[in-house]
Amino acid sequence: MIQTRPDRRAALGLLAGAAASGLSACSGANDGVTRLRFWAMGNEGDHVGDLIPEFERRNPGVKVQIQIVPWTAAHEKLLTSYAGDSLPDVSQIGNTWVAELSAIGALSPTPTAARDLLTDQFPAVLDTNAVDGRAMATPWYVDTRLLFYRADLLARAGWDQMPTTWADWKRAMHAVKRAAGQGNYAILLPINEFEQLLTFGLQVDEPLLVDQATRGNFASPGFVAALAFYKSLFDEGLAPVASNTQISNVWTEFARGYFSFYMSGPWNVGEFRRRLPPQTRWMTAGVPGPTGPGASAPGGSSLAVFKSSPNQEAAWALVRYLLEPGVQAEFARITGDLPARRSAWSTPSVANDPYLKAFEAQLARAEAVPKAPEWERIVTEMQIVAERMVRGEYTPEAAGAEIDRRADRLLEKRRWMLERGRTT
Amino acid sequence: MTDAPAAAAAAAAFAKPARRHGMGRRERAAWGFVAPALIAIAIFFVIPVVSALLLSLTDFDIYALADLDNLRFVGLRNYEQLLSNPLFWGAMKNTLWFSVLGVPLSIAASLAAAVILNARVVKWRPIWRVMFFAPYVTTLVATAVVWRYLLHTRYGVINWALQSVGLPAVDWLGQPETSIPAILMFVVWKIFGYNMLIFLAVLQTVPDDLYEAARIDGAGPWKQFRHVTLPAIAPTLLLVSIISVAGFFQLFAEPYVMTQGGPAQSTVTVLYFMYEEGFKWWNLGSASAVAFILFLCIFAVTMVQLWAARRMGAET
């Protein structure tokens, strides 16, 4: 694919290079020091710098230049710099971008020498980072969504334990709604967020996309059951028909008992701890599935080395360093992120946190989302249809068919490419 | 303006002898003089516009970015899909709201400022002019950040003022109903200085005798404004309104910096939609199609404005 790349990028590169040659000449590239450009986002970008001095001490001759990129601009910036041939050497990337960045040939696959970095990891997260069985990026930290619930209200409703199947969970929700009193609900499913429905969809047996991820499979009996379950939560008055902008403060509403179940990720553990009044008893638990503990989508960020980088060796050394279990544990301590290496989970700060226990089990049950570059657009469309279904425009069967129709339209190009053997 | 026919006659008189001898040379010289401008226009305007038009007929996307062989000619399909996309229509609606509210508001603000500054009683006029014009030349992103503080729900000075007179605080940038007015406040504050300068310049050309005559006939300030000022500045008003409409239709940076299109996509404008289509999803074909639809819209609105102005006799 790289060899057949036409001259457009070369021409762009020439233009850009002519403009940049003056600049790169003054950056002192000839002093024998390898300067690694490393992009990191948000919270990770703010804190990863603390770990770099040790890396530079161990690797004399390598200097790491961290560029903090805001999450809101990160995806665009990566693609734009690919087009402009100015990608860094290493970057943090969202797990769900791997397929897209691989499709354009930007990523450098994990070399044989770095295979050991893929051990001691969560399989579903690794799967998210692999395209055609080849690891394209290395998981750095992980997250997944599970349930935050009001343990006190659940106990008052007569449930000592969090149920593990959809049917039991729904009975528990009815009981909790009664216990919470007039005007309150059991669960908050923001109507403009796709993650909750996607989680239910991942719990059924059928894959979400079929034919090498070129066709939607949302009309399958399994996904229709997920749609029906999702819809029933609204129809039976267990969830308010509200978008996330209509709930101004999730934590106050949770403390007030407006809802007792909330699906979110590890980033919210600290917030719940800080913002909820101490008398509110809450806990985290795995998401119930149709017949037993259910799956959830693996999230988090990976470290990607770009093919365009002339400093492959130093770049992989940095990735290797950041994945050392000791460094991972330290990083978890300073950022609150959950480590990708499973051995780092035995660090006291992670292991002794009762709220984090459920995450490890949930991550072990995680299920990778389909790896088509169009995936993000497909789930966006899925949620638009699901919202209309909740508002009564579609039955679950009709909604499944409608999502398929929209997904197939978005995947049309991908089918054409596969037919001509242009992508995998 | 009465000079125009005379000038045309003079030009014709000049052109006549040229036609007899050495017309080729004169014409060449003329072309030589306009060539630099024409070349610049061709390189930076005509070629990009034509390429964008061609691009809008293809499915240039992330795959084509990796390999140009993955580019397909799709005819008008991008346009068809856009017209059936509810988010596009939402962006159209938001843009219309911005224009319908913003254009009259900004023109009224700049005209009011210009009329006040033009009044004889105002002292230190240059200072006022600079103060009113300053927002226009400051960096947009920096001022947007300041305005985000002003509009902050709990700590913002605007809500503080509202509360001090007993009104409830407003979550300006957090609710779909107030996000457009909140951004409009900022936009009008930012741009009214520019139009004010244009109005000020033309107000100074209105002869004083007209006001004097009106005063003698017993016209008060409002009647003077209505029957002397407005007719005198009508052509400028038309120009400013056309520029403003084009500007408001292309609103992008303000919502991008202040709300990122939120809440609930209530501040996604057509240009913001185009940006997302192009640089978030990398569908450059479809993004180019948005650009052309936007062009057609602005063109149509300008035509309507010109037609209305002709009906009202503003154009001279």
Instruction: Check: CB of residue A260 under 8 Å from CB of residue A149.
Output: yes
Tell me how far apart the alpha carbons of residues B206 and A336 are, in angstroms, rounded to a whole number. 68
Q: Is the predicted pLDDT of residue B21 greater than 90, yes or no?
A: no
Which pLDDT band, with edges at 50, 70 and 90, does A26 fall under? very low
Q: Which helix (H) or strand (E) holds B43?
A: none
pLDDT at A31: 75
Instruction: Check: CB of residue A197 under 8 Å from CB of residue A175.
Output: no
Q: Token pair for residue A270?
A: 């600290």
Task: Calculate mean pLDDT across residues B137-164.
Answer: 89
pLDDT at B6: 46
The mean-pLDDT minimum among A124-128, A309-313, B126-130, B312-316 falls in B312-316
Which residues does A261 contact at the CB level (< 8 Å), separation at least 6?
Answer: A147, A148, A149, A150, A173, A176, A186, A187, A188
Contact residues, B window 238-267, toward A, CB-based 8 Å cutoff: 260, 262-264
Per-residue CA distances from B187 to B102, B147, B258, B301 (Å) = 8, 10, 11, 21
Tell me how far apart the alpha carbons of residues A216 and A228 are, in angstroms, rounded to a whole number. 18
Which residues does A105 contact at the CB level (< 8 Å), separation at least 6?
Answer: A1, A2, A5, A307, B66
Set out the domains of chain B in order of their start, with CATH numbers: 76-312 (1.10.3720.10)
Instruction: Check: CB of residue A142 under 8 Å from CB of residue A339.
Output: yes
Task: Calculate mean pLDDT across residues A181-197.
Answer: 91
Instruction: Name which of A79, A81, A306 to mutate to probe chain B: the one with the most chain B Cβ atoms within 10 A of its Cβ.
Output: A79
Q: Strand A90-94 to strand A34-41: parallel, antiparallel, or no bridges (unpaired)?
A: parallel
Tell me how far apart the alpha carbons of residues A144 and B118 are, in angstroms, rounded to a whole number. 64
pLDDT at A397: 96
Q: Is the predicted pLDDT of residue B12 greater than 50, yes or no?
A: no
Q: CA of B8 to nearest chain A CA: how many angstroms apart?
A: 47
In the numeric block, the tokens 């990026």 are attached to A137
Instruction: Name which of B63, B153, B172, B259 to mutate to probe chain A: the one with the most chain A Cβ atoms within 10 A of its Cβ.
Output: B63
Q: Where are the beta strands (DSSP E) in A57-171?
A: 62-69, 90-94, 130-131, 134-135, 138-144, 146-150
Q: Is the predicted pLDDT of residue A30 greater than 90, yes or no?
A: no
Percentage of residues of chain A with pLDDT beyond 90: 67
pLDDT at B185: 93
Tell me how far apart the alpha carbons of residues B205 and B202 are, in angstroms, rounded to a whole number. 5
Under an 8 A CB cutoff, do B67 and A4 touch? yes
List the single residue in B62, B69, B174 with the smallest CB-CB distance to A245.
Answer: B174
Q: What is the dihedral of CA B192, B195, B201, B205, to 10 degrees?
A: -110
Under an 8 A CB cutoff, do A417 and B171 touch? no
The mean-pLDDT minimum among A152-166, A326-340, B13-27 falls in B13-27
Tell me how far apart the alpha carbons of residues B53 and B55 are, in angstroms, rounded to a whole number. 5
The segment(s) of chain A belonging to CATH 3.40.190.10 are 7-144+299-352, 146-296+371-419
Tell me how far apart the alpha carbons of residues B90 and A213 are, in angstroms, rounded to a whole number. 30
Cis before B263 (ω within 30) = yes
Chain A residues whose CB is inside 8 A of the B65 CB are: 79, 82-83, 104
pLDDT at A18: 47
Task: Calculate mean pLDDT across residues A234-242.
Answer: 93
pLDDT at A17: 45
Task: Calculate mean pLDDT across residues B227-252.
Answer: 90
Which pLDDT band, with edges at 50, 70 and 90, does A50 fall under? very high
pLDDT at B145: 87
What's the whole-number average pLDDT of chain A? 88
pLDDT at A197: 96
Tell me how far apart the alpha carbons of residues B228 and B211 are, in angstroms, rounded to a whole number. 7
Tell me how far apart the alpha carbons of residues B158 and B171 are, in angstroms, rounded to a whole number. 11
A269-293 pLDDT, tens per residue?
A: 888 988 899 999 999 999 999 999 9
pLDDT at A191: 87
Percentage of residues of chain B with pLDDT beyond 90: 47
Under an 8 A CB cutoff, do B69 and A6 touch? yes
pLDDT at B170: 85
Tell me how far apart the alpha carbons of residues A365 and A355 are, in angstroms, rounded to a whole number. 17
Q: What ipTM was reported for this prediction?
A: 0.70
Q: Token pair for residue B314?
A: 């503003």
Tell me how far apart the alpha carbons of residues B238 and A404 are, in angstroms, rounded to a whole number. 50
Residue A359 one-letter amino acid: F
Q: CA of B153 to nearest chain A CA: how many angstroms apart?
A: 12
Which pLDDT band, with edges at 50, 70 and 90, does A1 fall under? very low
pLDDT at B23: 66
DSSP B70: G
Nearest to A45 by CA among A70, A80, A78: A70
pLDDT at A103: 87
pLDDT at B174: 77
In the numeric block, the tokens 């603000």 are attached to B109
Which pLDDT band, with edges at 50, 70 and 90, does A3 fall under? very low
Tell me how far apart the alpha carbons of residues B115 and A186 are, in angstroms, rounded to a whole number. 60
Tell me how far apart the alpha carbons of residues B281 and A381 are, in angstroms, rounded to a whole number. 14
Give domain A146-296+371-419's CATH number out of 3.90.550.10, 3.40.50.2300, 1.25.40.10, 3.40.190.10.
Answer: 3.40.190.10
Helices (H), A108-243: 123-128, 151-156, 166-180, 195-202, 221-235
B56-89 pLDDT, tens per residue?
A: 999 998 888 888 888 899 989 999 999 988 889 9
Residue B62 near chain A (CB below 8 Å): yes
Instruction: Check: CB of residue B170 under 8 Å from CB of residue B231.
Output: no
Q: CA of B58 to nearest chain A CA: how many angstroms apart?
A: 12
Tell me how far apart the alpha carbons of residues A285 and A361 are, in angstroms, rounded to a whole number. 9
A409-418 pLDDT, tens per residue?
A: 999 989 998 8
Is residue A181 classed as helix, strand or coil in its secondary structure? coil
Closest-CA residue of A relative to B275 is: A76
Q: Token pair for residue A393?
A: 């425009």
B252-268 pLDDT, tens per residue?
A: 999 988 888 877 778 89
Which pLDDT band, with edges at 50, 70 and 90, does A71 fall under? confident
Q: Is the predicted pLDDT of residue A145 greater than 60, yes or no?
A: yes
If 0-12 CB within 10 Å is exposed, 13-18 middle and 19+ buried, where does residue B51 land? exposed
pLDDT at A5: 44
Nearest to B251 by CA among B180, B148, B167: B180
Q: CA of A409 to nearest chain B CA: how many angstroms apart?
A: 10
Predicted TM-score (pTM) of this structure: 0.77
pLDDT at A43: 87
pLDDT at A132: 86
Question: Topology of domain A7-144+299-352, per CATH?
Answer: D-Maltodextrin-Binding Protein; domain 2 (3.40.190)
Chain B residues whose CB is inside 8 A of the A373 CB are: 62-63
Which pLDDT band, with edges at 50, 70 and 90, does A264 fall under? very high
